[in-house]
Chains A and B, each alone.
Chain A
Amino acid sequence: MSSGDSLDRRSFLTAAGSAAAAATLAGCSGDGGGGTEGGDGSDGTAGDGGDGGSDQTLVYARGDHPENYDPQQTTSGEVAKVTNQVFDTLIQFAAGSGGQLEEGLATDYSLDGTTASLTLREDVTFHNGEEFTASDFKATWQRFTQSGYQYYLGDETRSGYGPFTLGNWIESVDASQDYELTIELTQRYAPFLRNLAMFAAAVLSEAQIEAMGDNQADLGSEPAGTGPFQFDTLDNPNERIRLTANGDYWGDGPNVGTVIFKTITENSTRVQDVINGASHITDNLDSSGFQRAEESETATLLRKNGINHGYMAMNMARFEPFRDRQVRQAIAHAINTEAIVNQIYQGFATQASQPLPPDVLGHNDDLDPYPTDKDQARSMLEDAGYGDGFEFELATFSNPRGYNPSPVQTANQVKSDLEDIGLTVNINQFSNFGPYLDYTSAGRHDACFLGWYTDNADPDNFMYVLLDPKVEMDAVPDGQDWVSFDTEGYSTLNVSGWANTDYMELVREAQRTYAEGDRETMYEEAAQIAYDESPWVFIDYAETLRAVNEAVVADSYTVSSVGGPYLNTVELQ
């Protein structure tokens, strides 16, 4: 080996040592910065503010950061939190309410037969400067649901809300006048006006849709609506979004100049961030976060009845013993749902008695949760011919969801309760929710945990969507109250296979009935049938919880069980 080579190697080692020293120094400078940063996000050093708000910055902490903010490309509530600030809907849910409707971009609205007529608000402009007119809604509808439209979003891009919210119900839209909108429906459909208030029905700008051309999927990185805040910066690497106040907003507020959505995945860390004052509001609290916020001196816990339902469905299409009503009732009597909501869910949920939560039209006040009575449960099993018990699978997801914050613990409670009446439960635990839905919607479970957050606070959104199989009436054999999952038209949202024709007639009639009193009666009757037949074990209605820092002026932020968050009204000290 030449001496030159040898020298090269020495130089390399020297260089390696120097590089190590340089890297070390860089590490040291990181340390140096540590002591000087206060970490108080409420100062609002960024965000020059819009014309309509002050120069204050509101920080909203959440658990996830999706990267596409097109309301037509998502089913995610995390996306809706942001798009609800940027976009408006024709009709909206009143802030702090349990789903009451109020004027949005439409100042007057009515539904008569199969025609919805709306008068639109004038002098509203989109953030891109375009004036809002009826044709914007027409373009919005076409982009979402009409495959013949030049700017149709595409089957593989649009979310399932396309047909679910608008597509299945709208026959045509007349936007020939700028501020009058006439929508023809395919059938009488009572929840329609509520569908117009859903986040997925947010009104997009026709000019923006046309400007996006063939790149419609890109709208999610630069959404421009008419809402109280404009989309300013999407910072994906740091999982943040910055919105600035819309000075021309037609409604209340905004009262702050900038809103920042930051992401902290860990629940307890997120709550701590609010307690420390680095964030002002956060959501999706688990039991420890709930307690910490409640005990904190710098944060308050806001709670409101949620419009949701966590349940255990018994699949009659697959598991024969569940076809016997007595067996289902016996199981409902054996599972101690009171212990589940009070001990496992730590009291931030209430015991469920029927498919509809209390704040929804048609909730039957005469129904109480099934009392836990294991003796009665055993005797009912005996009467049904299952005195020796049986064994079945209970599928469950693993990660907490709002309506079931501790799925595995809940499954263990169910297993233990049913063991007491001689039933053997094999828990089939799924680590990911996607494959879990895949499994349950294929009807491969004996029993499963699921739940539902309302889209529009309409009873139809629970009663028809989740418990009507949506097959033709004559597809249900006489004397049978279930159908198989491969029946033509079957909706896999009904994971129990339940097909009770009395119930189906009622909820289908209620869907077409506009008189509120009549609808209420029909749903109360349907709720009674569901209670008696017990296709599900009704477990809980979870509360909607928010931790709010003291810097937020009291009552300027209200928790809503559907829609929102309503950040336009928020004021900071």
Chain B
Amino acid sequence: MNWTQSIFKLIEPVVPPRFVIKRLLLLVPVLFGVASVVFAILHLAPGDPAIVIAGQRASAEQLEQIRQELGLRRPLWEQYLGFLWDAARFDFGQSYSISRGNSVRSVIADRLPITLELAIYGQAAGILLGLPLGIISAVKQDSLTDHVTRIGALTGISIPIFWSGPLLILLFSTYLDVFPTSGRIESTLFLPDTWTLFGRELPLTGMITVDTILLGNAEAFLSAAHHLFLPAVVIGVYSTALISRMMRSSMLEVIRQDYIRTARAKGQGAKITLMKHGFRNALIPVVTVIGIQFGTLLGGAVLTETVFGINGMGLTIVTAIGVSDYPVVQGTVLTFALLFTLVNLFVDVTYSYLDPRIQQ
């Protein structure tokens, strides 16, 4: 228990450990619920894993043998308990189809960094554009700039990824041939499995832009950045729109506060007042939105990855559902749920730190 005590000691000045423990315990019923729903849906859905494994040519006897081997003839409650026990150990067995013979764990380990990388870049694009746009819009309220920004933000929120993605591909890839249509790196560039640090071989992260930097391969890095640009923009547009709207309303609220007027009355310059007193305080609710938004970006990855053919968690879920690869569906959905809840936990903890009233 020493390491947990150390962690709590570390976070104590920031946020009370009891609050974190309470939030962590709340994760259990959430994940249990998700696991149960996933199990129920997949067992109610039509489709026989034996046919997925053996294919159309298999005989009835062969299919029956496979059903027995997989335990599909056991009572449902027994299968359910077995699934929960395995899920608690994050063991979902082997993929039936998309990565046949490999464990679902290894599938997730391959795919998760890809999705995280995409979400991080999308978030970066959102923050980069969303914050300044929100501030400008608030400061120049009801001006032409404000109207354009607001309409732009509304449009950004309203355009679905499955429409904007193909449109951008059509424009920038097909007609202008400026960006590649799909993938994460030039098809002829291959990276090694490991990188070397002080003579020690270490595994790569799976995030291709990070890996190419670790390997010191500039050509590969540029290729990876080139490939990721459009998907990050597509994800970033939605994020930008949301962040700028939030920033604007928060900023508008803050700049009407007494302390801003006092600062100005004391002779402080408008820009300094705005950035030092206005921006910082207005950022608090925006940080929350950014955190929650990160979870949504993971969901947005399902669409973005499908449109851009990027083999992350999102495309994996879609493909696994399409070919009835149930262990992969279960594993990836639960991983998404776990990530989403962990991100929300982090946001809650951060927010409670920024505004201690929330701990009550």
How distant is A231 from chain B, measured CB to nearest CB, in Å? 13
Most buried by B among A158, A160, A233, A240: A160
- Contact of B114 with A by CB under 8 A: yes
Binds A, one of B33-41, B57-65, B142-150, B249-257: B57-65
Give A518 to B59 CA distance when docked, in angstroms: 29
B residues within 8 A CB of A154? 69
Do B47 and A434 have beta carbons less than 8 Å apart?
Answer: yes
Q: Given A23-B120, A26-B124, A155-B65, A160–B178 Cβ distance below 8 Å?
A: no
B116 at the binding interface (Cβ < 8 Å): no
Q: Is the CB of B51 within 8 A of A156?
A: no
- In the assembled complex, the CB of A415 is this many whole angstroms from the nearest CB of chain B, namely 23
Structural contact, B186 and A45, CB atoms closer than 8 A: yes
Partner of B311, one of A32, A43, A164, A238: A238
Looking at A100-108, A437-445, A547-555, the stretch in contact with chain B turns out to be A437-445
Partner of B101, one of A68, A269, A272, A434: A68
Known: A163-B62, A437-B51. A66 touches B353 (CB 8 A): no
Q: A493 in the interface, Cβ–Cβ < 8 Å?
A: yes
Q: Tell me if B169 and A269 are in contact (CB < 8 A).
A: yes
Q: Evaluate contact between A432 and B322: CB separation under 8 angstroms.
A: yes
A159 touches B101 (CB 8 A): no
Among A27, A29, A432, max chain B CB count under 10 A is at A27
Task: Verify if B287 is at the interface (C-beta below 8 Å from A).
Answer: yes
B66: Cβ under 8 A from any A Cβ: yes
Q: A23-B123, A434-B47 are in contact. Are A33 and B222 (CB under 8 A)?
A: yes
Q: Which of A1, A34, A238 contacts B229 (CB 8 A)?
A: A34
CA distance A161 to B113 in the complex (A): 36
A57 to B111, CA, bound (A): 27
Q: Which single member of A46, A59, A68 contacts B102 (CB below 8 Å)?
A: A68
Contact B111 A24 (CB under 8 A): no
Q: Are A46 and B190 closer than 8 Å at their CB atoms? A: yes
- The residue in A59, A67, A242, A276 that gathers the most chain B C-beta atoms within 10 A of its C-beta is A67
Query: When each residue 479-522 of chain A gets 1 if its CB lies under 8 Å from chain B and 0 otherwise, what string results?
Result: 00000000000111100000000000000000000000000000
Chain A residues in 8 Å Cβ range of B131: 20
Interface size, chain A (Cβ < 8 Å) = 90
User: In the complex, are the beta carbons of A31 and B101 less than 8 A apart?
Assistant: no
The reply to whether A75 and B55 contact each other, CB–CB distance below 8 Å, is yes
Residue in B57, B95, B284, B311 whose beta carbon sits within 8 Å of that of A239 in the complex: B311
- Please name the residue on chain A nearest to B356 by beta carbon: A1
The reply to whether B190 and A156 contact each other, CB–CB distance below 8 Å, is: no
Contacting residue for A34 out of B60, B113, B178, B186, CB 8 A? B178
Known: A220-B100, A262-B187, A432-B322. A159 touches B55 (CB 8 A): yes
Does B168 lie at the interface of the complex (its beta carbon under 8 Å from any beta carbon of A)?
A: no
Residues of A contacting B229 in the complex (Cβ-Cβ under 8 angstroms): 30-31, 33-34
- CB pair A265 B98 closer than 8 Å: no
Is residue B24 within 8 Å, beta carbon to beta carbon, of the partner chain? Answer: no
- Min Cβ gap B316→A in Å is 10
B207 CB → nearest A CB, Å: 10
The verdict on B343 contacting chain A, using a C-beta distance below 8 Å, is no
Q: Across the interface, which residues of A come within 8 angstroms of B121, CB to CB? A: 23, 26-27, 30
B301 beta carbon closer than 8 Å to chain A: no
CB of B189 closer than 8 Å to a CB of A: yes
Q: How far is the CA of A9 from the CA of B356 in the complex (A)?
A: 11
CB distance from B190 to the nearest CB of A (A): 5
B309 at the interface (CB under 8 A from A): yes
Return the CB mask of A54-83 against B: 1 if under 8 Å, else 0. 000101000001111010011100000000
Per-residue contact bits, chain A 269-285, to B (CB 8 Å; 1 contact, 0 not): 10011001011000000
Q: Are A8 and B14 in contact (CB under 8 A)?
A: yes
Q: Are B311 and A37 in contact (CB under 8 A)?
A: no
B-side contacts of A9, CB under 8 Å: 353-354
Interface status of A347 (Cβ within 8 A of chain B): no
Contact between B56 and A493, CB atoms less than 8 A apart? yes
| Distance A33 CA – B321 CA, assembled complex (angstroms) | 35
B57 & A269 in contact (Cβ 8 Å cutoff): no
Contact of A278 among B98, B125, B187 (CB under 8 A): B187
Q: Name which residue of chain A comes closest to B174, CB basis.
A: A272
Q: A10-B280, A30-B121, A68-B101 are in contact. Are A264 and B183 (CB under 8 A)?
A: yes
Contact call B181/A441, Cβ cutoff below 8 A: no
| Pairwise interchain contact A67-B98, C-beta atoms closer than 8 A | yes
**A364-B154 Cα distance, complex, nearest whole Å:** 64
Chain A 1-36 interface residues, beta-carbon cutoff 8 Å to B: 1, 5, 8-10, 12-13, 16-17, 20, 23-24, 26-36
Closest 10 interchain pairs by CB?
A75-B55, A160-B58, A23-B124, A33-B225, A217-B101, A24-B128, A33-B222, A435-B47, A30-B225, A434-B324
Please name 18 further chain A to chain B contacts, defined as beta carbons within 8 Å, in addition to the given A59-B187, A237-B184, sorted by A numbering: A5-B356, A24-B128, A27-B121, A32-B225, A33-B222, A37-B223, A59-B188, A74-B55, A75-B54, A161-B55, A220-B100, A220-B101, A237-B113, A240-B190, A437-B51, A439-B46, A441-B51, A493-B56
